[in-house]
Amino acid sequence: MITEESRDSRLRRGTFYGLGAYGLWGLFPAFWPLVGRAGSLELLAHRVFWSFLVSVLLWLIMVPRGSLRPMLDGRKLLLLAAAAAVISVNWGVFIWAATHGHVVETALGYYINPILSILFGVVLLSERLAPIQWVCVGLAAVAVIVLGFDYGRPPWVALVLAVSFAVYGLLKKKINAGAVETLTIESAYLVPIALGYLIFLQVTGGLTFGHLGWGHTLLLVASGPITALPLLLFAAAATRVPLSTLGLLQYLAPTLQFLLGVTYFGELMSVGRWIGFGLVWLALMLLTTYGLLRARRRRRDLLAARPTTGGATPRR
């Protein structure tokens, strides 16, 4: 009884943490326009710098001593450098999109990211797909084409976000380390460039930090904590809830981004865009249903494979 209650409590907490993580990621587009006068590159530089300071502080508080040594492996350092480069592109494009009226397109990028990750598994890891997964990939491809015709250009914001985050996820899987440790080292790679750019802006008179009031300055500083907090919540959720639950929760972020783009920012949704998004939603619905059915079948097979013992257990 106690075990069941503790398991249920653990699951509830994990679900709460997951909702918090994806909810914050979904609301990110509303934050960046508040400091939009700084320009996308300055915002990116501040995000890197303040994220580094926050992650170092969290490392000192939360991570056991001696955990740095495994991270100094040459192969891991190269993978972390690649991850830093990829996530900087992702952050930069996202900030630009949020401050230039392309919030709906950011939602598209994170909607198609799971499908793109599946495709990466085929191309890079030689994984085999079920027919329904190929259907989902095809629907996503048609959606991108439809949206490309509607936009009059490829939906490059969505594609860059989806590709960069899929590559980042692949690199993180190979690194296999905690969220705080990886964020610290990744931002450490980027912080010299970020600081150099901020110094350049100060010298040339283009820096907004400290020049547009305390509110603006504090919001720029807050870009560090708001980057770290959802990562910590996600890490806490990942250890408490099944992967299938996280797979469902991940759609909360792009859904909130989509709703923000359409309702709060008033971005146009033409018929062609509704069709394109409808195809993506159909693909995700099929993909999620297939994943849940496969997970249920796997659990049933595991239960059936358990050895059963007949008779009463002898007392000792």
DSSP codes joined into one string, 148-173: HHHHTS--HHHHHHHHHHHHHHHHHH
Domain enclosing residue 123, as ranges: 2-300
Query: Do 229 and 24 contact (CB within 8 A), yes or no?
Result: yes
The stretch 233-243 carries a mean pLDDT of 79
Q: How far apart, in Å, are the Cα atoms of 139 and each of 99, 223, 280, 290?
A: 29, 36, 7, 15
Q: Is residue 63 part of a domain?
A: yes
Query: Do 13 and 183 contact (CB within 8 A), yes or no?
Result: no
Rounded to a whole number of angstroms, the CA Rg of the chain reads 22
Question: 199-228 burial, b for 16+ CB within 10 Å, e for fewer?
Answer: eebeeeeebbbeeeeeebbebbebbbebbb
Q: Report the C-alpha dihedral over residues 76, 239, 179, 168, rounded to 10 degrees.
A: 60
Residue 45 has pLDDT above 90, yes or no: yes
pLDDT the model gives residue 188: 93
CA-CA-CA-CA torsion sign (132, 137, 138, 139): positive
Question: Among 9-18, 31-40, 157-166, where is mean pLDDT lowest?
Answer: 9-18
Question: Among 2-6, 94-98, 272-276, 301-305, where is mean pLDDT lowest?
Answer: 2-6
Query: Do 165 and 112 contact (CB within 8 A), yes or no?
Result: no
Q: Is residue 305 part of a domain?
A: no
- 10 Å Cβ neighbour count for 6? 10
Q: Is residue 149 part of a domain?
A: yes
Token readout for 68 is: 């740095």
Token readout for 216 is: 């603006």
Report the C-alpha gap between 88 and 316 in whole angstroms.
Answer: 62
pLDDT band at 264 (very low <50, low <70, confident <90, very high): very high
Q: Of all residues in the chain, what percent carry a pLDDT higher than 70?
A: 94
Token readout for 38 is: 């700084």
Dump pLDDT digits (tens) for 95-141: 999 999 999 999 999 998 888 888 887 777 777 778 888 888 888 88
* Centroid of chain to Cα 67: 24
Report the C-alpha gap between 228 and 4 in whole angstroms.
Answer: 32
Residue 266 has pLDDT above 80, yes or no: yes
Burial class (CB in 10 A: 0-12, 13-18, 19+), 61: exposed
The stretch 39-57 carries a mean pLDDT of 94
* Centroid of chain to Cα 267: 23
How many angstroms separate the first and last alpha carbons of the chain? Answer: 24
pLDDT the model gives residue 244: 66
Report the C-alpha gap between 316 and 310 in whole angstroms.
Answer: 18
pLDDT the model gives residue 306: 67
Q: Is residue 237 part of a domain?
A: yes
pLDDT the model gives residue 151: 86
Q: Is residue 48 part of a domain?
A: yes
Q: Is residue 270 part of a domain?
A: yes
Token readout for 223 is: 């870009």
Coil, strand, or helix at residue 45?
A: helix
Token readout for 51 is: 């994220």
pLDDT the model gives residue 314: 45
- 10 Å Cβ neighbour count for 129? 14
Dump pLDDT digits (tens) for 211-225: 888 999 999 999 999
Q: Is residue 315 part of a domain?
A: no
Which among 239, 94, 102 has a CA at the least distance from the CA of 168? 94
Question: Among 29-38, 110-119, 182-191, 303-312, where is mean pLDDT lowest?
Answer: 303-312
Q: What is the DSSP letter of 66?
A: T
Which among 7, 164, 141 has a CA at the least distance from the CA of 88? 164
> How many domains is the chain built from?
1
Residue 310 has pLDDT above 60, yes or no: no
Residue 40 has pLDDT above 90, yes or no: yes
Query: Do 160 and 300 contact (CB within 8 A), yes or no?
Result: no
Q: Is residue 142 part of a domain?
A: yes
Which of 123 and 33 is assigned the larger pLDDT? 33
pLDDT the model gives residue 63: 79
Dump pLDDT digits (tens) for 49-102: 999 999 999 888 887 777 777 777 788 899 999 999 999 999 999 999 999 999
